[in-house]
């Protein structure tokens, strides 16, 4: 495997990656620029709940934690070495002297760039022609579905809206725009496949050690995402067997080593998430089921136009590299309908193999149409633009939406002031009771935990949500807070709150903070 890209390819990639990341960051910049004297931007343009969880874990890491413990629930539970990315990133924020939110957005760029580079290197290996590598790279990085067409045709928004507007995992652009943990995992997945294909050419055993290390690192962030890359490895080996009419023993040994390297963490994750009573309850709440197949057809419609033909051509050519990507694609969608609660997590990065297969199919079609072959770049550009309409909408459409200062994306500065006071005066890891949006802000912007705030990370979420609402309506019995470990309450000054057992300690124009009196 070449260590560096040729200078012209490297310059092209640097410019393309910079533009992709800048385009993906427009909503964040617009959100910050739209702040007023009275309103603060929540920090993200989509999925505020998971954003709050990730920053809360960074807060824990910044305070010195090295294990994952849910900060949105008051039950005592065993910490676990799960989803370590944001814990470690919290430590990084302390080492470099940045607050957690700034570190998070710096990481979006750093790991977004790493993911794009790994994807580009993988596609350069699969497509020796640099022009053919650039087209699938842009398609993988920017491509989405035909959800916009679904909406124009009158598709309902409930109970499921078009997936290209909410299924973050499925699209590289959506993933790198929002969460650096996704970018980190995508980089590991693409780089591991790149290395394995290199191993099939060179036979260097140290390459398998590196692949195994990348697989283990991937598990520390996303325990199951690497399964589709394992399938890609197997697909490449089977393609070589098909070509050579035999399977080399070293290839079987390589697959076995990679698989064995992943077993310890798989077993650990299984034992924690299925045997521990509290983590088992979390697992039961962690429902990320796939939508009906028709939504995947629409959600990747621009890719399907040529990807299926690309698979047909790859089968005819017996191309191990493209058949590895075929195995990734087939494996991803097959796993997405396993009888498990985390089905759609297997779709992470699926636009990478789909883009490669689609461009392979399209390029072969163009060879049959000379007049279009002469305008190959125009055809690629037009196709990528068509496939990117939903991504363009996400960036520009949501940016325009943010200019209207929607309530769910902004919060009062009075609440911000209350959070600053609380962070300075409360004991770290104290529990706070507030409504759900405010609780999420508490978790992401302070060193405190919250009683209720996330459908998956709050154990018994529905019950606690109802209790919180009854409390703020003055309908919970006196002494209830004493049973919850809650030490602080954040309320609106206008709430008709039963303040029995509460001590007012801070208030401003609209927010009030109460300390729960100790018995």
| For residues 306-318, average pLDDT | 96
Strand 511-516 with 486-492, pairing: antiparallel
Residue 98, phi-psi category: left (phi > 0), alpha (psi -120 to 50), beta (remainder): beta
Which pTM does this prediction carry? Answer: 0.94
User: Taking the domains of the chain in order of start, what are their residue ranges?
Assistant: 7-41+99-401, 409-516
- Calculate the dihedral angle through the C-alpha atoms of 307, 313, 317, 320, rounding to the nearest 10 degrees: 10
Q: For the chain, what is the mean pLDDT?
A: 93
CB-CB contact of 472 with 435 (8 Å): yes
Per the model's pLDDT, the better-predicted residue between 246 and 328 turns out to be 328
- Per-residue pLDDT band at 371 (split at 50, 70, 90): confident
Count how many residues are written for the chain: 519
Residue 331 confidence class, pLDDT cut points 50, 70, 90: very high
Contact call for residues 121 and 5 (beta carbons, < 8 A): yes
Does a cis peptide bond (omega within 30 degrees of 0) precede residue 159?
yes
Query: pLDDT by residue (tens digit) across 39-60?
Result: 999 999 999 999 999 999 999 9
Identify the pLDDT of residue 3: 60
Q: How confident is the model at residue 372 (pLDDT cuts 50, 70, 90)?
A: confident
Q: 514 - beta bridge partners? A: 489, 504
Burial class (CB in 10 A: 0-12, 13-18, 19+), 263: exposed
- pLDDT at position 394: 92
CB atoms within 10 A of CB 400: 11
Could you tell me whether strands 449-450 and 431-433 are parallel, antiparallel, or unpaired per DSSP bridges?
A: parallel
pLDDT for 407-464, tens place per residue? 999 999 999 999 999 999 999 999 999 999 999 999 999 999 999 999 999 999 999 9
The label of the residue with tokens 């409504």 reads 435
Model confidence at 514: pLDDT above 90: yes
C-beta of residue 182 within 8 angstroms of C-beta of residue 152? no
Q: What percent of the chain has pLDDT over 70?
A: 99
- Which has more confidence, 500 or 225? 225
Summarised one tens digit per residue, pLDDT across range 210-245 is 999 999 999 999 989 999 999 999 999 999 999 988
Question: Is residue 349 within 8 Å of residue 301, measured between CB atoms?
Answer: no
Whether 5 shows a pLDDT value over 80: the answer reads no
pLDDT value of residue 332? 96
Please report the pLDDT score of residue 23 as a whole number: 97
In this predicted structure, the answer to whether residue 64 has a pLDDT above a threshold of 60 is: yes
Helix locations, 245-346, DSSP H = 249-275, 277-285, 293-299, 301-317, 320-335
**Higher-confidence position of 131 and 470:** 470
How high is the pLDDT of residue 4? 66
Q: Could you report the per-residue pLDDT of 382-417, keeping only the tens digit for each?
A: 999 999 999 999 999 999 999 999 999 999 999 999
The mean per-residue pLDDT over the stretch 78-91 comes to 94
Pick from 128, 92, 122, 121: nearest CA to 107? 92
Give 405: exposed, middle or buried? Use CB within 10 Å, 0-12, 13-18, 19+.
Answer: middle
Give the pLDDT band of residue 519 (cuts 50, 70, 90): low
- Is the per-residue pLDDT at 495 higher than 80? no
The percentage of residues in the chain with a pLDDT greater than 90, rounded to a whole number, is 82
Query: Encoding tokens for residue 156?
Result: 């309902």
With both helix axes pointing from N to C terminus, report the angle between 351-367 and 130-142 in degrees, rounded to the nearest 10.
Answer: 130
Q: Which tens digits make up the pLDDT trace of 117-139?
A: 999 999 999 998 777 799 999 99
Query: What's the pLDDT tens digit per position in 173-217?
Result: 999 999 999 999 999 999 999 999 999 999 899 999 999 999 999
């Amino acid at each position: 495997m070449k260590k560096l890209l040729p200078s012209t390819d490297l310059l092209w990639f640097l410019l393309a990656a910079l533009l992709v990341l800048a385009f993906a960051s427009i909503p964040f910049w617009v959100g910050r620029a739209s702040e007023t004297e009275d309103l603060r931007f929540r920090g993200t343009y989509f999925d505020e709940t998971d954003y709050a969880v990730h920053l809360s874990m960074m807060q824990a890491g910044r305070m010195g934690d090295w294990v994952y413990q849910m900060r949105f629930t008051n039950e005592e539970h065993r910490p676990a070495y799960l989803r370590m990315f944001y814990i470690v990133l919290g430590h990084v924020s302390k080492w470099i002297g940045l607050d957690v939110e700034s570190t998070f957005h710096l990481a979006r760029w750093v790991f977004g760039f790493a993911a794009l580079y790994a994807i580009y290197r993988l596609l350069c290996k699969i497509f020796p022609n640099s022009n053919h590598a650039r087209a699938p790279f842009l398609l993988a990085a920017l491509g989405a579905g035909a959800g916009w067409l679904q909406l124009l045709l009158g598709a309902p928004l409930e109970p499921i809206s078009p997936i290209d507007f909410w299924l973050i995992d499925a699209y590289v652009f959506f993933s790198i725009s929002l969460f650096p943990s996704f970018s980190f995992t995508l980089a590991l997945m693409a780089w591991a496949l790149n290395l394995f294909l290199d191993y099939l050419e060179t036979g260097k055993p140290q390459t398998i050690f590196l692949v195994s290390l990348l697989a283990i690192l991937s598990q520390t962030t996303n325990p199951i995402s690497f399964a589709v890359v394992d399938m890609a490895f197997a697909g490449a080996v089977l393609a070589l067997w098909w070509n050579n009419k035999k399977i080399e023993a070293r290839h079987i040994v390589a697959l076995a080593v990679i698989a064995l390297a992943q077993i310890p963490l798989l077993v650990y994750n299984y034992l924690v998430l299925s045997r521990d009573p509290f983590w088992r309850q979390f697992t039961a709440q962690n429902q990320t089921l796939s939508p009906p197949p028709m939504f995947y057809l629409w959600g990747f419609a621009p890719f399907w136009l040529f990807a299926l033909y690309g698979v047909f051509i790859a089968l005819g050519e017996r191309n191990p590299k493209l058949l590895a990507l075929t195995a990734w694609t087939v494996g991803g969608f097959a796993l997405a309908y396993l009888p498990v609660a985390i089905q759609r997590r297997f779709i992470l990065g699926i636009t990478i193999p789909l883009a490669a297969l689609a461009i392979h199919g399209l390029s072969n079609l163009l060879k049959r149409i000379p007049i279009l072959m002469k305008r190959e770049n125009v055809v690629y550009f037009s196709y990528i633009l068509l496939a990117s309409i939903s991504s363009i909408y996400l960036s520009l459409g949501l940016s325009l939406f943010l200019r209207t200062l929607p309530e769910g994306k902004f919060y009062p500065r009075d609440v911000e002031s209350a959070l600053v006071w609380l962070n300075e005066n409360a004991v770290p890891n104290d529990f706070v009771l507030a409504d759900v949006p405010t609780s999420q802000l508490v978790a992401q912007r302070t060193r405190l935990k919250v009683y209720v705030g996330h459908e998956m990370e709050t154990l018994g979420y529905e019950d606690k949500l109802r209790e919180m609402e009854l409390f703020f309506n003055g309908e919970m019995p006196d002494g209830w807070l004493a049973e919850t470990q809650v030490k602080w309450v954040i309320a609106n000054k206008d709430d008709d709150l039963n303040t029995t057992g509460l001590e007012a300690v801070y208030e401003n124009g609209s927010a009030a903070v109460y300390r729960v009196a100790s018995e």
